[in-house]
Chain A
Amino acid sequence: MVKHRIGLYLLSFLAVLYLVTPFLWVVLVSFMEEREANQHHWIPRQPTFDNYWPYLAKGSVTDEDKTAGDAVGGFTARQFPRAIINSLINASLVMVMNLFFGSLAAYALARVDFSGKFVLLLFYLGTRSVPGVAIMVPMYLLIRGYGLLDTHLAIILAHTTFTLPFTIWILKGYFQTIPIDLERSARIDGCTRLGALFRVFMPVATPGMIAVGIFAFISSWGEFFFALLLTSSIGSKPVTVLISDFAQELQVDFTLIAAGGVLVVLIPIVLAFIFQRFIIHGIGGAVTG
């Protein structure tokens, strides 16, 4: 048994090593000066927190000694907290909309037999197979027609439509694994169809819902191209777009981007720790309930 444990930890460690190592390098670079980052070793020899200051504190920007990064950084300093909030709003609402719209559709697809089901499934999938490059410009014009350019709603709607097909497909598959007897007995007890869905079915389906919820959240959090296209001011600009301002024509300040990247990744990771507990509770519910 002990041997089994050690093996388990060893393998898990290797798996985490695979998943984390590339990003670990970014974390390490974020503590280096630009000069050191170009030497491509891993451990910073003179660790510095300088790359984080532009995001966290305001700096004087007209100082002639400051390099380009500092100046862009000064600008970003005023915008970064706002961009984080924008991203949080977008990603959370995308998650909520996915779970609501997605679970309704997926439940019908999983539980009800109706003609056109296959076509409907294909349709959902089909919307995902059109390359972004093709719909980019017309969608931009459409959102402009709705008068929604540069608003949260534009990004939320766009990201929801992109993630919804995945959500529906995955939930449909997940829902099918849940025994139908649950709702049958609930309905015999006098529940309506929707009543059975919300009172009996949904609690059991929690792990799957959380999985797709995380999926939708992170997809929206990390999405760049449409967010870039649809926003222009800090009123709605998400954080991925904001840090792209460091990669401009004249120079890419990689250490600054690295620091921004670390800050951006932190939030989903922290949320994941919280979600973890939910998932574990979810299993408890599924097994005992």
Chain B
Amino acid sequence: MPPKLRSDHIQQRANHVFALVMNLPALTLILLLIGYPVIVSLWTSLHRYNLRRPDTFDFVGLMNYVTILTNHDFWHSIGVSFYFTAVSVPLTILIALGIALLFNQEFTGRGVFRALLLIPWAVPGVVNGLMWMGLLGKHGAFDTIISNNIELFNKLLGTNIDYIGMASPVVALNAAVAAHIWKNVPFACIIFLAALQGIPSEQYRAARIDGASTWKRFLHLTLPWLLHPIMIVAILTTMNSFRVFDLIFALTGGGPGDATYVIAWQTYKEAFGRLNFGGANAYSYLITIITMTLAIVYIRLLYRRGSVQG
């Protein structure tokens, strides 16, 4: 029986069953592996529990949350993490979009370029941290270049800029942002490239025949087409930025002072530095709430725009 002859009701039920069956494998796997840890983690966050006192597991309700929310350290980390995210997400998208548009052009050697694109992503975390230390640290390969240029700048213009590299809180934080962006660009770029390949070429041809300029074609054809992928990349990079941890671990250790105390670093110190698992899990849930809120905001935007596109 052709589908269009079915009644709406049956159709709807069939849809539900179909959707459920299709999602079942993924759901099962996720629930099996993450479900339990997530619940244990939530439950632990409601207890006073430090591994150094393993026999004390007292239910304290929301006390851990209250302690954290009334602590200056938390708000400081929130500030740092928001800055980190607010700078790295738009820059990641812009850089990735630029590179994707470029590598979407047809030219010989494009395959090589696209393969090289994956390098930052493929660099293992252990190497990545040490690499940026080596590049940006004192006497590092980049650090030397930058300080030489600033010396020259000072000489030429008679200014007196004192460049102290990663020992400067501002430099350290932004260097961590730059390293994070570098590592995240390939992922975003691949998403954009895949999406760009889906643009029907007839529409381009039609636009070109209509005499639309490159810019106009980008604005009216490419960009609307990319809106959905951009939103997805925005959500995922926001989450990545909020959870950034190993880079901070290797690059700055949170310093100088508390300049790079992102929220995940604070959580790590609570969990493994102090073995305060109650507090650390509360920290984790606060991070979860924040990232989920941000994600919902994005998704709302996405759906509103998405409906235009169909």
Contact = CB atoms under 8 A, between A and B. Distances in A.
A222 B124 contact: yes
Contacts of A126: 288, 292, 295
Interface in A92-122: 97, 100-102, 104-105, 107-109, 112-115, 117-118, 120-122
Contact of A122 (B103, B195, B295): B295
Task: Name the residue among B33, B102, B299 with the largest chain A CB count within 10 angstroms.
Answer: B33
B119 interface: yes
A131 B267 contact: yes
A182 interface: no
Interface string A134-165: 11011100100000000000000110110011
A104 B41 CA distance: 30
A252 B298 CA distance: 42
Contacts of B246: 224-225
A57 interface: no
A268 B120 CA distance: 11
Nearest to B231: A173
Nearest to A103: B22
B41 A240 contact: no
Given A20-B116, A134-B267, A174-B194, A12 B103 contact: yes
B187 A247 contact: no
A26 B185 contact: no
A178 B198 contact: yes
A127 B239 CA distance: 11
B98 A269 contact: no
Given A25-B141, A254-B130, A8 B102 contact: yes
Interface stretch (A44-52, A59-67, A74-82, A279-287): A279-287
A248 B212 CA distance: 60
A188 B2 contact: yes
Given A15-B103, A22-B132, A218-B121, A211 B193 contact: yes
A2 to B, nearest CB: 12
Contacts of A104: 22-23, 25-26
A250 interface: no
Interface string B1-43: 0110000000010011011001101110110111011101100
Interface string B93-107: 001001100110101
A109 B232 CA distance: 15
A166 interface: yes
A169 interface: yes
Contact of A16 (B116, B139, B140): B116
Nearest to A180: B310
B122 A269 contact: yes
Interface string B131-156: 11011000111001000000000000
B69 to A, nearest CB: 17
B116 A222 contact: no
Contact of B141 (A40, A164, A225): A40
Interface size class of A (residues with CB under 8 A): 35 or more
B234 to A, nearest CB: 12
Contacts of B296: 122
Contact of B29 (A9, A37, A40, A164): A164
Given A25-B135, A157-B33, A257-B127, A215 B187 contact: yes
Given A40-B134, A134-B284, A224-B126, A142 B18 contact: no
Contacts of B29: 97, 101, 157, 160-161, 164
Given A112-B19, A142-B33, A240 B131 contact: no
A84 interface: no
Contacts of B36: 138-139, 142
Contacts of A142: 33, 36-37
A207 interface: yes
A109 B208 CA distance: 34
B127 to A, nearest CB: 3
Contact of B33 (A20, A105, A137, A158): A158
A43 B247 CA distance: 26
B120 A23 contact: yes
Contact of B197 (A11, A12, A102, A283): A283
B229 interface: yes
Task: Name the residue among A117, A130, A210 with the largest chain B CB count within 10 angstroms.
Answer: A130
A193 B193 CA distance: 29
Given A133-B271, A282-B197, A286-B197, 11 more contacts: A19-B185, A25-B134, A105-B22, A108-B19, A133-B284, A134-B284, A135-B37, A161-B30, A176-B228, A215-B190, A273-B111
The 9 residue pairs across chains A and B that have the minimum distance between CB atoms:
A134-B284, A261-B127, A108-B22, A138-B37, A135-B37, A211-B194, A129-B291, A272-B115, A276-B111
22 contacts: A9-B107, A12-B103, A18-B182, A19-B182, A40-B141, A105-B25, A120-B23, A122-B292, A127-B30, A131-B267, A133-B245, A158-B33, A161-B30, A173-B232, A174-B194, A177-B195, A178-B198, A247-B126, A261-B126, A273-B111, A276-B114, A282-B197
